[in-house]
Amino acid sequence: MKKKTLFLILFIVLLAALLPVLASAEGETPDEPYQVDVEIWFRAKTYPYDGQPHTYPDNGGYEVVIKNDASGGLFKAQYVEFTGESVTGTAVGDYSVPNPGSGQFRCTDSRFHMNITRFNKRDNKMSITPTKIHVDFLTSDKTVTYDAQEHALDECTVSVYAENDPSVTFPSDIITYTISNASPKTDAGTYNMKVTVSNVSCSDPGLRISTTKTHSGILTIEKATVEVEMQTENVTVTYDGQPHTVTYTMVITNDAGGLFKPEYLSYDGPTQVTGTNAGEYKINNDEHYYHNSQDQNFRLIVHYPTGKLTIQPAEVTVTAKGKTETVTYDGTEHTLSGYDLTIEDPSGLYAVSKIS
């Protein structure tokens, strides 16, 4: 009996000792706050520039180190709140809490009495660092027609993106630069070239140019167009049995604004056409008869000849007159056949023998 009584007494004493702890665990305030010793260390924070405001210190701006907790582990670091003057920054730079001290921290849970045994403000700093960017200069293509002048690529488009993430882009107008023409070209052709870019700068203070690259473009100088044709007057004659000839002259109808000189072009084809019989006559001037000594810069177009020789048929008048015969009746049958032809032909070329 005495042992049972003694055990009961010990149980009651132990329960009485545990009740405050159990009550605190359930959120009830103990009769006396638990003593807690902590160290508070400012921790430097770094943000890459993004154009948005950042505040320091936030939950990551300081560290709470619990050194002694009389509650047996109920105290949490999040119960410590900074009550001092925070600092907010958007632009690139370093920001620090003004006049930091241990008195700017309090415990938000009334169950605890917090003692700050050590306070370190050495790393009291928030840094907003520039975002590194890459700039591409894309030399713009250009197409011109040959004009005996020098041409070069002298423009470019700008592409700006984050160095470590090309999907993050920035407006091109924040980049200023000086552009120099690529080496000029005169003759027709296709040239791969790029401009020279210097004095590159960025107007956004939160961005820093890390790398740049200039990409090539294409300069195309197309051949100038030259047009030529063989010309003669339209000549019309009437057939007279004699050969007739017309002579053609090579004429450059488009000389590319005076750039193409007559001596650049030679012709070794026919220049005359002859006809005797009625019909129309033109020379055959295929392109292979023309030789352009400046083919590099001029494209030759050969047109169909203008002018022709026309020999019209001669006109003759043919009259057929039946024959007549007078006989005396003699009781027999008489027949009459044949006709007489007369021809009116001023040229004298048409013969009765040609009529059937």
User: Tell me, what CATH number does 187's domain have?
Assistant: 3.10.430
Lowest mean pLDDT among 91-105, 116-130, 186-200, 338-352: 338-352
Of 51, 121, 143, which is closest to residue 89 (Cα–Cα)?
A: 51
Residues 51 and 14 both lie in one domain: no
Give the pair of three-digit tokens for residue 5: 């009584």
Predicted local distance difference test score (pLDDT) of residue 25? 44
Of 119, 134, 124, which is closest to residue 98 (Cα–Cα)?
A: 124
Predicted local distance difference test score (pLDDT) of residue 333? 83
The per-residue DSSP string of 174-233 comes to GEEEEEEPPPPB-SSEEEEE--EEEEEEES-TTEEEEEEEEE-EEEEEEPEEEEEEEE--
Residues 102 and 171 both lie in one domain: no
Mean pLDDT score, 186-208: 95
Residues 14 and 48 both lie in one domain: no
Q: Would you call 25 helix, strand, or coil by DSSP?
A: helix
Residue-wise pLDDT for 125-178, tens only, equals 999 999 999 999 999 999 999 999 999 999 999 999 999 889 888 999 999 999
Q: What is the mean pLDDT of the chain?
A: 87
Rounded CA-CA distance 113/105 in Å is: 12
Residues 140 and 214 both lie in one domain: yes
The angle subtended at Cα 12 by Cα 10 and Cα 17, nearest 5°, is 95
Tell me, yes or no, if the pTM score tops 0.85.
no
**Domains of the chain: total:** 5
Residue-wise pLDDT for 22-62, tens only, equals 444 445 566 799 999 999 999 999 988 888 899 999 767 89
Mean pLDDT score, 273-300: 94
Give the pair of three-digit tokens for residue 174: 């924040």
Residues 322 and 308 both lie in one domain: no
Lowest mean pLDDT among 11-20, 76-85, 347-356: 11-20
Give the pair of three-digit tokens for residue 150: 């020098």
- DSSP secondary structure code for residue 151 in this structure: B
In which band, very low, low, confident or very high, does the pLDDT at 14 lie, cut at 50, 70 and 90? low
Residues 181 and 264 both lie in one domain: no
Residues 64 and 122 both lie in one domain: yes
Peptide bond before 20: cis, by omega within 30 degrees of 0?
no
Return the percent helix, strand and coil in the chain, to nearest 5. 10, 45, 40
| C-alpha dihedral, 48 to 52 to 58 to 61, nearest 10° | 20
Residues 4 and 43 both lie in one domain: no
Residues 296 and 336 both lie in one domain: no
Residues 212 and 279 both lie in one domain: no
Of 166, 65, 76, which is closest to residue 116 (Cα–Cα)?
A: 65
Residues 230 and 298 both lie in one domain: yes
Phi and psi (nearest 5°) for 68?
Answer: -150, 125
Q: Given 199, 222, 245, which residue is the final one in a domain?
A: 222
Residue 16 has pLDDT above 80, yes or no: no
Residues 65 and 94 both lie in one domain: yes
Domain range spanning residue 4? 1-27
